[in-house]
Structure 1
Amino acid sequence: MSNHSGKEERMWAIIVHLSALIGLIVPLGNVLGPLIVWLVKREEGAFFDAHGKEALNFNISVTIYAAIASLLLVIFIGALLLIALFLFWVILVIMAAVKANEGKEFQYPLIFRFIK
């Protein structure tokens, strides 16, 4: 991704990252939000396409991590993991949106790259 992208493409990159916050209201919305936005707008430019794939991969990975942490609730460490994962998720979604607004590349850490 380059450091130059159109204002509209940057706006959609911000939206694809922030659409994950729908997961606060809708179950699996953290995956569905970015998926829908990316599917609708992915042909609009390489900058947006890269941010869309990154947002989708991150949120799929977080969902997998949350499922594992939920299983660990039985041994009590799961609650701490879920809290840490939630904070990690919110902070990184905001960081990605800020980088998209600046027209810069952003790669989420600790993710599986399902969509390349």
Structure 2
Amino acid sequence: MSEFDNVTAPPPAPTGTAPADQRTMALVAHILGIFTWFIGPLIIWMINKDDSSKSFVTDQAKEALNFQITITIAMLISFVLMIVIIGGLLAPLVGILNLVFCIIAAVKANNGEAYRYPFTLRLIK
């Protein structure tokens, strides 16, 4: 079995309830994706990835990072497709989807629920 056989299946979410400070950091990771694309979630993930007591923050920052990498790839494709006009329609759609999914993820993370973005390339494992 190859490591690429099950690429689209999201990893399991952490179980249990997350403390308030971890929920806030997870919320910040998702919201920063709107304003800084992948830089904000990357910084939060890098700071917390080695601390096993912050598994919720690490999981949600990694999920936000993967989603922002996917959004970045989609925007690059949209800009290339602007040559044939379809990119002009696709780029705003990708931006709106980014905004909507980041807000949904932030609300879920603030409630202590692990959120999995749809259509995400999970490059960081």
TM over 0.5: yes
Alignment correspondent of 1:15: 28
Of 83, 87, 105, 2:96 maps to: 87
Select which of 49, 65, 75 maps to 1:56: 65
Alpha carbon RMSD of aligned pairs, Å? Answer: 1.1
2:34, 2:98 within 8 Å by CA — same for their partners in 1? no
- Bigger radius of gyration, 1 or 2? 2
Question: When you count helix as a share of all residues, which structure comes out higher?
Answer: 1
Gaps (5+ residues) in structure 2?
A: 1-13
Give the whole-Å Cα distance in 1 for the aligned partners of 2:64 and 2:115: 10
Of 74-83 and 41-50, the range deviating more from structure 2: 41-50
Q: Give the corresponding residue for 1:5.
A: 18
Question: Corresponding residue for 1:25?
Answer: none
* Deviation for aligned residue 1:3: 4.8
Amino acid at match of 1:15: V
Q: Which stretches of structure 1, 4 residues or more, deviate above 6 A after TM superposition? A: none
* Rounded Cα–Cα distance in structure 2 between residues aligned with 1:3 and 1:84: 35
**Aligned match of 2:43:** 36
Q: Deviations over 1:33-54 (max 9, x none)?
A: 1101221133251111110110
Q: Percent identity?
A: 34
- What TM-score does the superposition give when structure 2 sets the normalisation length? 0.84
- TM-score, reference length from structure 1: 0.90
Is the 8 Å Cα contact of residues 41 and 61 (structure 2) preserved in structure 1? yes
**Structure 1: gaps (5+ residues):** 23-28
Checking the alignment, whether the CA contact within 8 Å between 1:11 and 1:101 is kept in structure 2 is yes
Deviations 1:51-110 (A, max 9, x none): 011000000010001000110001111011001100000000000000000100110011
Amino acid at match of 1:13: A
The size of the alignment, in residue pairs, is 110
- Aligned residue type for 1:5: A
